[in-house]
């Protein structure tokens, strides 16, 4: 804790604290030993956990990736030797370059205090480019766009994964084809309903199930490779060149489907904070990468032997007696893959709230030990509704595949862009290294993106629409929050002048402690002003608490608190600044417990204090700054935001809400 003289602090909206620059004495720590990424568990246990959460999405790609390649454009890619070798070589080198080299070797190095994901990377770039405000803002906007595309991914992944697994019923028993969609909907309904109880009880099962899944992937592929060992020559990149030369247009559109083999690559980075870099790398190189490649080679060998297997090469790898058990295992694996992106959507939403791009959402913690295991009801039910619409509209995994590629390629390209910005600023990479990295990774991902553009009329418009909606919501909230903050400051007036007025007026003091959550120490809380104006009393102890959301994932408890006596000693009025990262819980009573006995003014019992909230009602006015429709959207979002009482964990029976009105 630090006790300071009055100093300016960045302001945020009362209803939705957002990102601010930390005061000079509160620089975010580096290498925090208490950070969740500094795991004490063994490497084997963490690697097993990573298998269960991180690799669910990419691990289920063999279910539909190869099948989709040979079904695009009415079967333009033929199951002949040249095309099969060209496709399997494209898949191998895509996985190698994008996942193994880009993400596992490079991107995982750009951690934000141990956390990953595109929003965390954008905040990290903004932090290291603080002297260039425009570059920092561009980084955050790229992060917003990437997060918006991730929401599209979070809608499509559960639908395509579960449908592709259940479609195995058609292979085992063709007469059950009509049951695929109802069974898929039922499975996902149960999955979304179960989110409120969290995954901590079943999470320990995910790792062993995915270990079994990857073993089965390899076991399915090995016999076919042994029968046709010549398929191994398909790993040579020369087959890609031959494929492009012989069929340039076909190879181009095939890349739009090959990208499905690297879906889930972003999860390697997004879930880094849960497991750390090393366990993810160990799991990838020891289990996931070899199992995936062996399975894809097995599918290629099967197609060389039986071109008719192109209808569903994954399930036809298995003997007929094993297809029913394989359907069951694949369904479990796809549910786990769906769980990974749903949990990721919860985490991205919480990060967006803390960075000031979404209103406060109700967040429930589903584990007493893991802070990352959260449940966000609003996001959960919006995702469920969107997934249902997708499943009923598209009805099959191959049709959904057309909508999938743009979300994936867009996120990949944005991550590469942010990474290059970070490498140039933080690591001081020379120009040649930046250009080489950008050409290899960015060039390949641009090709993927271009190959997916023809899909727009056939479903590729879907992630673009989702992204446009989410970007509109985020930018509207961020802009409206800034406007409301400026107008609220005018209404509140300077805090030092208000305190001087209290001393001059000699307001009567009453027993007890009053806590006023408020975004800054520069203006007076409206609830405090109202209490003095209408009741003409002031509590013996007044604690004004400002919650600062910093552009780091976590702030250590030892560096979280700053006390400001506001220029008057022993008057019982203090200002407390509590700094939080965007992954921390903003629990004000807990902050007060941490502050007890550190200064006489803060030796209070938070369980006996009264809490006073300034609740602002926003009305649409004629002022400039936002279009009328955006004002309506902002007001609608503010009405549906979680109450500050729940966000800050305030006791309901001792919280008083005092309102004011502001025109937008």
Count Cα neighbours of 115 within 13 Å in the Cβ-side half-sphere.
29
Residue 629's Cβ-count burial label (10 Å; 0-12, 13-18, 19+) is: exposed
Q: In three state form, how does the secondary structure of 260-278 look?
A: HHHCCHHHHHHCHHHHCHH
What is the tens place of the pLDDT at every residue in 513-537?
899 998 888 888 888 888 888 888 8
| Confidence class for position 561, pLDDT limits 50, 70, 90 | confident
Q: What is the pLDDT of residue 30?
A: 35
| Residue spans in the chain of domains classed CATH 1.20.1740.10 | 60-459
Provide the token pair at 96.
């190698």
Three-state SS for 568? coil
Over the range 128-161, which residues count as b (16 or more CB within 10 Å of their CB) and which as e? bbeeeeebbebbbbbbbbbbbbbbbbbbbbbbbb
Tokens representing residue 173 in the block: 């028993």
For residue 435, give the 3-state DSSP assignment. helix
Q: Compute how many other C-beta atoms are within 10 angstroms of the C-beta atom of residue 286.
A: 13
**What confidence tier does 196 reach under pLDDT thresholds 50, 70, 90?**
confident
What lies within 8 Å, CB to CB, of 594 at 6+ separation is 557, 560, 561
CA dihedral 9, 10, 11, 12 (to 10 degrees): -130
Q: Which of 386, 375, 572 is nearest to 466 (CA)?
A: 386
Other Cβ atoms closer than 10 A to 619: 10
Write down how long the chain is. Answer: 664
Helix/strand number for the chain, H first, E second: 26, 9
∠ CA 522-129-272, nearest 5°, is 100
Strands 573-580 and 561-564: antiparallel
Q: Of 10-14, 102-106, 283-287, 473-477, give the lowest mean pLDDT range.
A: 10-14
CB 609 within 8 A of CB 592: yes
**Higher pLDDT, residue 292 or 599:** 292
Given a contact cutoff of 8 angstroms between Cβ atoms, the answer to whether 18 and 356 are in contact is yes
Task: Assess whether pLDDT exceeds 70 at residue 131.
Answer: no
Q: What is the three-class DSSP state of 321?
A: helix
Q: Hey, which bits of 572-609 come out as E strands?
A: 573-580
**d(C-alpha 597, C-alpha 604), whole Å:** 8
**Confidence check: pLDDT of 39 > 80:** no
What is the pLDDT averaged over residues 216-245? 94
Alpha-carbon distance of 128 to 415, in angstroms, equals 16
Q: Which two tokens stand for residue 539?
A: 């509590």
Cβ(114)–Cβ(273) below 8 Å: yes
Question: Domain 60-459 adopts which CATH fold?
Answer: Amino acid/polyamine transporter I (1.20.1740)
Residue 216 pLDDT class (50, 70, 90 cuts): very high
Q: What is the pLDDT of residues 533-554, one digit of tens each?
A: 888 888 888 899 988 877 666 7
Instruction: Return the number of other C-beta atoms located less than 10 Å from residue 439's C-beta.
Output: 11
Angle, helices 289-305/81-94, rounded to nearest 10 degrees? 170
Stretch 223-248: mean pLDDT: 93
Judged against a pLDDT cut of 90, whether residue 302 lies above it is answered with yes
Query: What DSSP string runs through 138-160?
Result: HHHHHHHHHHHHHHHHHHHHHHH
For residue 138 the two structure tokens come to 């561009």
- Tell me the two tokens of residue 78: 């033929």
CA angle 176, 181, 183 (to 5 degrees): 75
Per the CB < 8 A criterion, the answer to whether 55 and 99 are in contact is no
Cα gap 312→68, rounded to integer Å: 9
End-to-end Cα separation, the chain, in angstroms:
37
CA atoms within 13 A on the CB side of 270: 28
User: Coil, helix or strand for 664?
Assistant: coil
Query: pTM of the entire structure?
Result: 0.77
The owner of tokens 């405000």 is 133
d(CA 611, CA 141): 36
28 or 119, greater pLDDT: 119
Nearest one of 422, 557, 647, 551 to 35, comparing CA atoms: 557
Cβ(408)–Cβ(153) below 8 Å: yes
The mean-pLDDT minimum among 312-316, 337-341, 385-389, 407-411 falls in 337-341
pLDDT 10s digits, 303-317: 999 999 998 899 999
> With 50 as the cut, is the pLDDT of residue 37 above it?
no
Contacts of 622 (CB under 8 A, 6+ apart): none
Structure tokens at 469: 């909606």
CA proximity to 354, closest of 51, 201, 522, 579? 579
Q: What is the pLDDT of residue 3?
A: 41
- Mean pLDDT (the chain) is 82
For residues 426 and 30, the answer to whether their CB atoms sit within 8 Å is: no
CA distance 578 to 119: 22
């Amino acid at each position: 804790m630090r006790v300071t003289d009055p100093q300016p602090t960045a302001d945020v909206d009362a209803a939705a604290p957002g990102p601010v620059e930390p005061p000079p004495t509160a620089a975010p720590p580096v290498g925090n030993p208490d950070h969740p990424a500094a795991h004490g568990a063994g490497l084997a246990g963490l690697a097993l956990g990573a298998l269960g959460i991180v690799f669910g999405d990419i691990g289920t790609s063999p279910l539909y990736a190869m099948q989709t390649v040979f079904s695009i454009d009415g079967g333009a890619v033929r199951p002949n030797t040249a095309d099969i070798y060209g496709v399997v070589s494209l898949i191998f080198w895509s996985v190698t370059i994008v996942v193994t080299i880009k993400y596992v070797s490079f991107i995982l190095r750009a951690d934000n205090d141990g956390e990953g994901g595109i929003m965390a990377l954008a905040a990290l770039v903004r932090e290291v480019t603080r002297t260039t405000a425009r570059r920092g803002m561009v980084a955050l906007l790229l992060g917003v766009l990437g997060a918006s595309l991730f929401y599209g991914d979070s809608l499509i992944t559960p639908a395509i994964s579960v449908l592709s697994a259940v479609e195995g019923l058609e292979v085992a028993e063709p007469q059950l084809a009509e049951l695929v969609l109802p069974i898929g909907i039922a499975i996902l309904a149960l999955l979304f309903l179960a989110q409120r109880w969290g995954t901590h009880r079943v999470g320990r099962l995910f790792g062993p199930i995915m270990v079994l899944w990857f073993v089965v992937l390899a076991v399915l592929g090995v016999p076919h490779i042994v029968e046709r060992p010549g398929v191994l020559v398909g790993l040579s990149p020369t087959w890609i060149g031959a494929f492009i030369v012989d069929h340039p247009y076909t190879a181009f559109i095939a890349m739009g489907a090959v990208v499905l083999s690297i879906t889930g690559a972003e999860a390697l980075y997004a879930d880094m904070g849960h497991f750390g870099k090393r366990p993810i790398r160990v799991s990838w190189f020891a289990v996931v990468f070899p199992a995936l490649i062996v399975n894809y080679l097995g599918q290629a060998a099967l197609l060389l032997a039986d071109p008719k297997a192109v209808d569903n090469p994954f399930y036809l790898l298995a003997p007929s007696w094993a297809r029913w058990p394989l359907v069951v295992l694949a369904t479990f694996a796809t549910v786990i893959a769906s769980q990974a992106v749903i949990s990721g959507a919860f985490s991205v939403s919480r990060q967006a709230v803390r960075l000031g791009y979404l209103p406060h959402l109700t967040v429930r913690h589903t584990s007493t030990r893991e802070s990352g295991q959260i449940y966000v009801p609003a996001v959960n039910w919006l995702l469920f509704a969107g997934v249902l619409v997708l499943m009923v509209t598209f009805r099959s995994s191959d049709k959904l595949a057309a909508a999938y590629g743009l979300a994936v390629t867009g996120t990949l390209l944005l991550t590469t862009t942010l990474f290059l910005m970070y490498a140039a600023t933080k690591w001081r990479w020379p120009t040649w290294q930046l250009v080489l990295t950008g050409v290899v990774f960015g060039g390949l991902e641009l090709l993927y993106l271009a190959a997916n553009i023809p899909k727009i009329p056939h479903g590729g418009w879907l992630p673009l629409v989702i992204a446009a909606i989410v970007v509109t919501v985020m930018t509207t909230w961020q802009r409206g929050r800034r406007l409301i903050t400026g107008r609220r400051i005018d209404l509140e007036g300077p805090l030092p002048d208000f305190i001087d007025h209290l001393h001059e007026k000699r307001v009567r003091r009453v027993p007890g402690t009053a806590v006023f959550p408020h975004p800054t120490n520069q203006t007076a809380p409206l609830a405090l002003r109202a209490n003095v104006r209408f009741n003409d009393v002031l509590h013996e102890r007044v604690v004004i608490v400002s919650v600062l959301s910093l552009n780091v994932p976590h702030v250590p408890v030892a560096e979280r608190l700053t006390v400001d006596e506001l220029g008057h000693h022993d008057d019982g009025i203090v200002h407390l600044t509590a700094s939080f990262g965007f992954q921390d819980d903003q629990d004000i009573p807990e902050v007060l417990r941490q502050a007890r006995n550190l200064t006489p003014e803060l030796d209070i019992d938070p369980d006996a204090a009264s809490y006073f909230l300034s609740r602002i009602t926003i009305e649409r006015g004629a002022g400039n700054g936002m279009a009328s429709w955006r004002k309506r959207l902002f007001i609608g979002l503010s009405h549906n935001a979680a109450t500050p009482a729940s966000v800050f964990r305030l006791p309901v029976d001792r919280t008083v809400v005092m309102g004011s009105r502001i025109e937008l």
